[in-house]
Amino acid sequence: MERLATDDRVEENDNLADEGFVDDDAQYDDLEEESYDVDERDRAPRSLGWILTLGGIFGFLGAFILTIERLELLKDPNYMPTCSIDSVLQCSAVMTSNQAEAFGFPNPIIGIIAFPIVILTGVLALARVDLPAWYWRWTMVGMLYGLVFVGWLISQSLYEIRALCPYCMVVWAAMIPMFWRTLGYAASSGKFGDAVAESAVGRVLGRYWWAFMIATYVLVIGLVLQAFPYYFF
Query: 3-33: per-residue pLDDT in tens?
Result: 444 444 445 555 544 555 445 554 545 544 4
Residue 222: what residue type?
G
Q: Which CATH superfamily is domain 45-232 in?
A: VKOR domain (1.20.1440.130)
State residue 18's pLDDT score. 52
State residue 19's pLDDT score. 52
Q: What is the mean pLDDT of the chain?
A: 87
When pLDDT is averaged across residues 83-97 and rounded to a whole number, the result is 92
DSSP 8-state code for residue 106: -
In 3-state terms, what secondary structure has residue 201? Answer: helix
State residue 233's pLDDT score. 87
Query: What span, in angstroms and rounded, lies between the C-alpha atoms of 135 and 165?
Result: 33
Residue 12: what residue type?
E
Task: Name the band, by pLDDT with cuts 50, 70 and 90, for residue 35.
Answer: very low
When pLDDT is averaged across residues 113-123 and rounded to a whole number, the result is 98
Contact by Cβ (8 Å): 188, 173: no
- With b for 16 or more beta-carbon neighbours within 10 A and e for fewer, the 93-107 pattern comes to bbbeeeebeeeeebb
State residue 21's pLDDT score. 46
Nearest to 62 by CA among 82, 79, 77, 47: 82
Task: Name the band, by pLDDT with cuts 50, 70 and 90, for residue 194.
Answer: very high
220 contacts: CB under 8 Å, gap ≥ 6: 154, 172, 176
State residue 135's pLDDT score. 97
When pLDDT is averaged across residues 194-199 and rounded to a whole number, the result is 95
State residue 43's pLDDT score. 82
Query: What span, in angstroms and rounded, lies between the C-alpha atoms of 140 and 131?
Result: 13
Query: What span, in angstroms and rounded, lies between the C-alpha atoms of 58 and 64?
Result: 10
For the segment 132-181, what is each residue's pLDDT rounded down to a tens digit?
999 999 999 999 999 999 999 999 999 999 999 999 999 999 999 999 99
State residue 41's pLDDT score. 56
Neighbours of 76 (CB within 10 A): 8
Dihedral pair phi/psi, residue 95, rounded to 5°: -70, -25
When pLDDT is averaged across residues 47-71 and rounded to a whole number, the result is 96
Provide the percentage of residues in the chain whose pLDDT is more than 70.
82
Q: What is the pTM of this model?
A: 0.82
